[in-house]
Every structure is written in structure tokens, then in C-alpha cells.
Amino acid sequence: MRHTKKLTLVCVAIGAVMSVSQIFSQADAANVTWESLLNEITNRAAISEFPDPFYTNKQASSYDRNAKAAEQPNWFANGDASQFVREETNADFGDRKEWVLIDADGPGAIVRWWITAPHYKTTFRVYFDGEKTPTIETKLDELVGGNFLVGAPLSEANARGRNLYLPIPYAKHIKITVDDMPTQNNLYYQINYRTYESGTNVKTFSIEDLKKLNGLVKQKLERLKNSGRVSFADLAENIEYKTILPGASVVEDHIQKENEAEFKEERGIALVVLMIKLKAENIPQALRSTILHISFDGKETVTCPVGDLFGTGVGLNPYSSWYTSVFKDGWMMSKWFMPFQNSCEIKFQNLSDEKVEYISYGILAPYHWNEKSMYFHSNWRQERDIETIAGNGTKDWNYITIQGKGVFVGDSLSVVNHHTAWWGEGDEKIYIDGEKFPSHFGTGTEDYYGYAWCTPEFFEAPFHAQPRAEGPSNYGNTTNSRYRSLDAIPFTKDFRFDMEVWHWAATKINYSVATYWYALGDATTNQPDNIAEEAKSKVSYETEGFVFNLPGYNVANKPHGNLSIQNMAHFNGKWKNDEQLWWTGATKGDELKLRYKIEQSGKQHIVVSLTKAVDYGQIQFSFDGKEIGNVIDLFNDGVIRTDEIDLGELDVFAGEHILGVKIVGKNEKSTNFLFGLENVEFKLSEK
């Protein structure tokens, strides 16, 4: 790696460096103000120092309250909407009913807010420091994801998830409510909040401060929008590619402070920009099988595949965030602030069967190492072929467990899903400093990553991104990343992050995750021993193999939407075994193919029993690609089982055949395109 020794470039990097103590010294009489928090958002150096004043970061959310403990049956309960602290009557405003999302003592600050709902019809109110009149009062979508307080990217909607990253500090107390829940109905929410140590002087947020510092807000918004889009590749245009042979390692650079003249008198150095570009026959494989090892002051703290470190997942997927970016020309950029005292060694390891070529570039800056300074860490783990349970949680999958003192600052999850159904219903569970019950209990994997409703579309933002969603629907490779600034999570003894594996289908799924964290020098983690084996495993930019373990059915294609077995016992009718094959989430033109094995050749009638309801579509059956029978309209004002429907007589040979179901439209009275199959029979014709 080449690192600059030109003072002009070092000055470019220094502009981003400001210590935590400098942030708080800029505050007026308070330790923490809205202005100091706003400055902290765009100070990458801040998260590399253990927080002073110290704070905890917890989460209020609408997680299902039936989840009590891991050993109890409802640990994977999924009713995560409209769960509140309590319902109360506000006598000061005409006995108005309000539902409380968070009720917390300060000093503290709201640092990240996420919501989603089918619609937004009601009002949020924010009460500070025990006051009876709310300081903030506005519609749901205007406050979170809208422009009521601030615009994008601190407040915006991405893939149906609404996020607000504007800090909201309070001196003594915070209460947030929503009204008229009978009208609003389902509301999903997550609120991350800091609670500072006792005695910390926090200045409560005010609309006046927001107006007074409008210029600073605009400055921060512009910096957040544009920082990750600026590449330093032009500075490295003359660098020659180096080759790593299969199974070999190359030490790219060993930075020693006493050998760097401009840093010799400094107490430390920081690697503030790291750029890498790979060249190989199989780029997706090279990005996963090339491991980056970084050691600071003699201790290896980064052990991660190159692609996962930069959040690109499987393949090269361009996107931009505050800490990492991937560019169309193949350059990958990290702006994680990585301080050290004396030495830094960067090593590339090629675990693939083919040679890999690379170029790299870095920028160093002076840094004042002190007792709060922490080393940057990144670890990676993968588990393949996890067998999921349809419609329930399979297990809590551990991202990382850490022993020591530090701050967790983000993660990038890559998933390979062998089914089109939604894979990420699972909640994050984060345990800090020996907690028995997680202080962060989420409402769904996509909610944790800032989007909603399993939306398979590209999005990028400073602190969360989905650079890859292969499709169709939720099939294939997906990469979700979340990066933390004000919502970083400090820990003093230990840290554990689990994510529920919760899938709507019984299939197979791969999980791999890169985690990012800072810690003081003696921290340890549960980095798995099989990282080399997993990094060498085959990856493909286009997922191979559709897997669907649905009892009684052999699904032959990757249909759009979701397939499941629906319990029909509570409907009036006699469905075989009180269940049906239920196809939801599809639309006009989509097709489902089922594989059947015929034991005896001859003329046969294909007979089906179906379900009709108000939200079912019109379908056309086919057999081995040829249409059979007439279009069937499944609309009915009420849920019923049809009589047997004869699709016609066919001359069928023994062996495997494909029965197709294509959605061709819907009745004008129908509200959707659903399909339900109760039974299929192949009946030999009477001779």
C-alpha cells in the first residue's frame, strides 16, 4: 500500500480529525448540546475514542412483548406492531388518548429513529423534561423521514422504511407518544437513545436552536451527502498491480512511526483512508477469498474478506455511505478512522485457486493518542446451508461476542436465500455488559437495516444501505449494511449481538457478516476458526439452486411471492387435513410450477380442489407447458372450498411432469391475486 507523505494530502485528512474532548469543549456551559452532537455526527475520529462523558445506548421498540426468555416457547414471537410502554389519558388536552413509545430519564439524547406503517394518519408528540405541553407535535411521516425538523439524508425514507438521525438531546426526561391508534392501526418503531452518566450537563433540544444553527445543519447535510462519493483513485493512478498467487500472502506495507519523518514527533498516527482494487478472473470469488489482515502495534485486529470489509457483499456492487464506498471502476474505499501508536501492518492473503492482482492506496494523518484511544477491529463469520423453519424462528445467529471495553459501530450482512419468500423476519438482540435480556430487541431484520416490508430494491444512505438484492422477490444474494455514528454502542465488559434466523419458507440459507468495532488493547472476540474454509467456499454472483422444503409439494420453479401451508381449520369448509398450499405476493403474469411423478401411463383426468375468497385471482392451469381446462375465477365474497374441478383428459406417460398455475388476472371485485390449492389428483380414465 502506498501512503502519502505529502503535507498537502495529510492536511486533507486532518480536516476530518477532531477528538471527543474537542467536541465537548466547544459546547457552551453544557457538556452536551444539540450543536456538539451535530458536530459529532460528521467526526469519524469521535467513535475511535471511548466516550467521555460515558453513555449507554439502548433501544425502545415495538417488539412482541410475548418474547420473555430464550428458553420459553414465544422467544421468536413475531407480533411486532403497535406494542407500547402503556396507554394513557392526557387530562390537559381534553382526555386525549396517547400511546407511549418511550418514557426515559435523562440526561440523554435520541440518536436514531426508524418507523414504518401501512399508512401515516396520526401524530407524534415529544415531551421534554416533564413538561405537559409537547415541544414537537406533527404527523408521523413528517417527523420521521419527512422535512419537519431536517431534510435528507438525516431524515428520509428508503425502501419503505423511514429514518431520522437528527439528535434530540434532553436534560432530564423524554416521553414520546402517538395518538389515535385505532385509526393508525399498525405502527412499527425503533428508537435508539443515549443515557449519559449522572452529572452530565445536557442542554435540551429546542426549535430555536434548530433555527439558529440552520447554516450548520445545511453544512452537515451536504457533507453527509457527498463525502462517500469522492474517490481518491486519481491520486493512485500510477500504482502498478501486484500479484498474489493461490494460497500465498503478501505484506503490502509495514508502517513504522519512527520511519515516517513527518510523524516522528507525534504521539500517534491514524490511517484515515484505505482504498483497494482487485483484478481476477472471478471477481466475486476474489472479493470473498482474499482476506485482509491489519495489525496495529503488533496485534491483528482486522481479519475480514476484502469485499465484506467494504460492505459490497457478493460481487462488486457500487454504493456510497459515510464510512465505506464502492465505485463502478472497481475501487473500494474505507474511511473508518484507524489510529495507532507506533506501527501498522497490512497483509493480503489469497485463499482462492486462482491468482489475484491488487492495487491499494492509503492516507495517513497525525493523531494524538491518549488513554481513551481505541483500535479499529473488523471480523467476519459465515454459516452455509442453514435449514429454516417455515413461518417461525430457526435460531439466534451470533454476529459477534466480545470480551473487553469498546464501542460497536456497525455490520454488513450478506445473505444467500434459496427461495423467493422473505428471509429476514428475525429481530436483532443485543446484550451489553452481562445483560440477561437484550437492551436492543428489534422488530425485523430489514427494520434494523433501515428499510421495511422486505423491499428488494437498491438504496444507499450515509448510515445504511442495500447495494445488492438479486431477486426475483427475495431470492438470491442480498447485502444489508448499517453503520453507526451517534448510535454507536459502548460496552465496558462484554458485548453480544444475535440475529434471529426467521424465514417464511422451509429452505436453505447462507448468512455471512462483517462486524466493525473499536476497543482498548486487550479486547478479545469469538472469531471462528473456520474463516479460511468459509472464505474459500464457492460464491456466485447469480445464485444457483432453488430449495423449498414444503411437505407434500415439489416446487419446480422460483415463483414471485410467497408459498406456505395455510391452516384452514377456522374457515367454514372441509379442506383436506385442514390446510392448503397458499400463494401470496404474486401478480398478473406470475407462474407457479409443481412437479408430480406419474406411476402409470395412460389416459388420465387431472382433478383439482381450490379455494375461493374476496382477494383471490383468476388462474390458468397448464400441463408440461400446454394449457389445460378453462380460466378459473377464484373470487368469492367469503372463503370457501370448491368442488372438484376436472381440467380434462390427457394421454400421460409414466414419469415426472409439471403442473403449472399462471395468474392471468382478477375479478373486478377482487382485492388481490391470491391462490389456494387444496388437492390435486391424477385419475386413470375408465376403459
The side-by-side arrangement of strands in the sheet containing 655-665 is 591-598, 655-665, 618-623, 626-633
Q: Which of 8-22, 230-244, 292-306 holds the top average pLDDT?
A: 292-306
Residue with cell 491499494: 360
pLDDT of residue 30: 66
* Second-level CATH architecture of 25-227: Sandwich (2.60)
Question: How much is the pTM?
Answer: 0.86
Query: How many CB atoms sit inside 10 A of residue 215's CB?
Result: 8
Residue 197 CA: distances (Å) to CA of 28, 38, 273, 491, 492: 19, 20, 33, 13, 13
Q: How far is CA 221 from CA 157, 165, 216, 226, 451, in A?
A: 15, 11, 9, 9, 20
For 538, 641, 650, 662, 670, the CA distances from 646, given in Å and listed in that order, are 46, 15, 11, 17, 24
Crossing angle, helix 34-41 and helix 214-226, to 10 degrees?
20
Residue ranges per structural domain of the chain? 25-227, 562-684
Which pLDDT score, from 0 to 100, does residue 237 have? 66
Distance (Å, whole) CA 305 – CA 289: 6
Mean pLDDT, rounded, for 486-502: 98
Residue bearing cell 407434500: 552
Rg (CA), the chain: 28
State pLDDT tens for residues 580-596.
Answer: 999 998 999 999 999 99
* Residue 433 grid coordinates: 455488559
Amino acid identity, position 297: D
Say if CB 604 and CB 682 are below 8 A apart: yes
CATH class entry, domain 562-684: mainly beta
The model's pLDDT over 15-34, given as tens digits with 9 standing for 90+, comes to 334 444 444 444 345 689 99
How far apart, in whole angstroms, are the C-alpha atoms of residue 81 and residue 85? 13
**Residues 489, 112: contact at Cβ < 8 Å?**
no
Query: Beta strand pairing status for 2-3 and 356-367?
Result: parallel
Distance, in Å, from the CA atom of 163 to the CA atom of 463, rounded to the nearest integer, reads 10
Smallest Cα–Cα separation from 481: which of 260, 228, 652, 650? 228
The better pLDDT of the pair 2, 573 is held by: 573
Question: Do the domains spanning 25-227 and 562-684 agree at the CATH topology level?
Answer: yes
Beta 2-3 vs 343-350: how paired, if at all?
unpaired
Residues 126-155: tens digit of each pLDDT: 999 999 999 999 999 999 999 999 999 999
End-to-end CA distance of the chain: 81
pLDDT, tens digit, 9 for 90 and up, residues 651-683: 999 999 999 999 999 999 999 999 999 999 999
- Percent of the chain clearing pLDDT 70 (strictly above): 94
